[in-house]
């Protein structure tokens, strides 16, 4: 497995670029997908000056690179979306299946429009975000998960 390690300073730069590209959409609400989207959604909230931020959790991976069947929502969105333009933020569109589940769910919750922003997009993903900064086929290690990845790699040895 090839890894792409992202530093905190690179994360900040990616989020600044992402904020610039999503600004024309003018979202009313940001929704971070827990856990990978928590840091990026907070940074985008700060950069864009959008204080309406919600969180939802969609679980799909059971361990490093191993999906667990079908994505499922394990924490419902924590903010009212009725009639709002929503921007969903995650770190990466890997398989894309989690993002598709999130989109369907948020539209059922009454969002007027739902668009997606990720730092990275993988070319094999079945879901292409409306906004993303970089494309890669490598396994990305973000700074907020370095210890988790290290533990999983050690456990596999």
Instruction: Give the mean model confidence (pLDDT) for residues 85-93.
Output: 97
Give me the number of domains the chain comprises: 1
**Residue 87 bridge partners (DSSP):** 30, 115
| 146, containing H or E segment | helix 146-156
CATH number, domain containing residue 81: 3.40.50.2020
pLDDT(77) > 80: yes
**Model's pTM, two decimal places?**
0.91
Please state which of the ranges 6-10, 129-133, 135-139, 146-150 shows the lowest mean pLDDT. 146-150
- On the question of pLDDT at 64 being above 60, the answer is no
Give the per-residue pLDDT at 68.
58
* 37 φψ region: left (φ > 0), alpha (ψ -120 to 50), beta (else): alpha
Cβ burial 129-147 (10 Å sphere, 16+ → b, else e): bebbbbeeeebbbbebbee
Q: How confident is the model at residue 155 (pLDDT cuts 50, 70, 90)?
A: confident
Per the prediction, the chain carries an average pLDDT of 92
On whether the CB atoms of residues 77 and 49 are closer than 8 A, the answer is no
Domain range enclosing 101 = 3-156
Please answer whether residues 93 and 128 qualify as being in contact, where contact means their C-beta atoms are separated by less than 8 angstroms. yes
User: Which neighbouring-strand residues pair with 85?
Assistant: 113
């Amino acid at each position: 497995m090839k890894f792409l390690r992202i530093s905190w300073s690179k994360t900040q730069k990616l989020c600044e670029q992402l904020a610039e590209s999503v600004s024309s959409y003018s979202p009313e609400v940001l929704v971070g997908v827990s856990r990978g989207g928590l840091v990026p959604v907070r940074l985008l909230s700060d950069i864009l000056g959008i204080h309406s931020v919600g969180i939802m959790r969609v679980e799909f991976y059971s361990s490093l690179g191993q999906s667990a069947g079908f994505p499922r929502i394990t924490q419902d969105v924590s903010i009212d979306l009725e009639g709002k333009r929503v921007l969903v933020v995650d770190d990466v569109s890997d398989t894309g299946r989690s993002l598709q589940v999130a989109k369907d769910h948020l539209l059922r919750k009454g969002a007027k429009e739902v668009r997606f922003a990720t730092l990275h997009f993988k070319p094999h993903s079945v879901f292409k975000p409306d906004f993303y900064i970089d494309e890669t086929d490598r396994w990305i290690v973000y700074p907020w998960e370095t210890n988790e990845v290290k533990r999983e790699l050690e456990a596999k040895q």
